[in-house]
Amino acid sequence: MYKKRNYFLISLCILGLLLLISSLLLGVHNYALSDFFARQSQNFAIIWQLRLPRVLAVAVVGALLALAGKLLQTVSNNPIADPSLLGINSGANLALICGTILGVPFTLFWRVSLAFLGAFLTFLIVFLLSMTRRGLSPTRLILSGTIFSGFLNGIAYGISILTKSSQRFRNFLVGGFSGVDCKQMWLLLILLLIILGLTIYFARDITIIGLNDQLSQGLGSRIVLIRSVAVIIVVLATSGSVAVGGNIAFIGLGIPHLVHYFDKRDFKHVYLEIMCFGSVFLMFCDLLARLLARPFELPLGGLSAILGGGFLIWYVYRQSEAVVA
């Protein structure tokens, strides 16, 4: 069993490497492997200075969103919790659009700051709406998040239309990585290291909380602290992802369930697989978005939702077959 799980992780890493190379070579213009080493050519500069930052940003965002989804599902004991479903993506997206229209500088620092503020406030509102006298209600959490997410998306689209800035905010609204530079890539890589460090350190406690509150208290888990850390990780991952890649759906909801199909262990044993799967999936979607309608790009958020939805329908079908059997 463990060998199969190791093969799964190794297969994801190999597939990710193949997608990385393909993404560097394929696009509006295709390049040969020899262009990797032709230092004096223009193709070399395009591959290493333009395409590499984009591909790495895509891989990191996929990993961050998948981890954020699994974290939410674990600490809320709700299998369909997801940053986009709870409105966290939408809040970060709306804050970016409103801040830009109001004249906030469109620098990387302010983009991340606005996205973090919007994501945090949205999560706080949804969390408060989900509270009952008995504590957090998973049903109300999803209902509140879904309704609030639709509300914020409507406002974002309305503002972009009224201000005639839909094209300017295209990446924020539908997702995409065109124009990603080295600064954004390094920001995401640093953010990934911070989040990965926190996750590794608190993985055992997060896993225990995923059992239930009573049992985790009996085992000595610091529930309030661990859930606060989990929320910080989710908000950081989501805000950084939205600030660079815009509003991308499905990753946080579907990837953890697809990994669960292959590996049914708890959080501390599967979060690396989930992050790798998220990276591979989003890299595949980004490559298709660039190739299917050349020289134009398809909306990455819509494409990831379509492909991910198809995978998820297949997964649900297989699960229902297993139950019937």
pLDDT digits (tens, 9 = 90+) for 287-307: 998 888 888 888 888 888 888
Name the residue among 230, 234, 270, 271 with its Cα closest to residue 75: 230
- CATH number for the domain including 137? 1.10.3470.10
Residue 58 belongs to domain spanning = 2-324
Residues facing residue 136 across a β-bridge: 131
What percent of the chain lies above the pLDDT cut of 90?
19
Separation CA 72–CA 66 (nearest Å): 10
Decide if 253 contacts 268 (C-beta within 8 A).
no
Separation CA 33–CA 22 (nearest Å): 10
- Give how far the C-alpha of residue 45 lies from the chain's centroid of Cα atoms, to the nearest Å: 29
End-to-end CA distance of the chain: 22
Residues 6+ apart with CB under 8 A from 162: none
Judged against a pLDDT cut of 80, whether residue 39 lies above it is answered with: no
What domain count does the chain have?
A: 1
Decide if 181 contacts 118 (C-beta within 8 A).
no
In the chain, the largest separation of any two C-alpha atoms, in whole Å, equals 68
- Please give the structure tokens belonging to residue 207: 């896993």
The pLDDT value given to residue 163: 77
pLDDT digits (tens, 9 = 90+) for 125-160: 888 887 777 766 667 777 888 888 888 888 888 887
Separation CA 118–CA 111 (nearest Å): 11
pLDDT digits (tens, 9 = 90+) for 279-289: 999 999 999 98
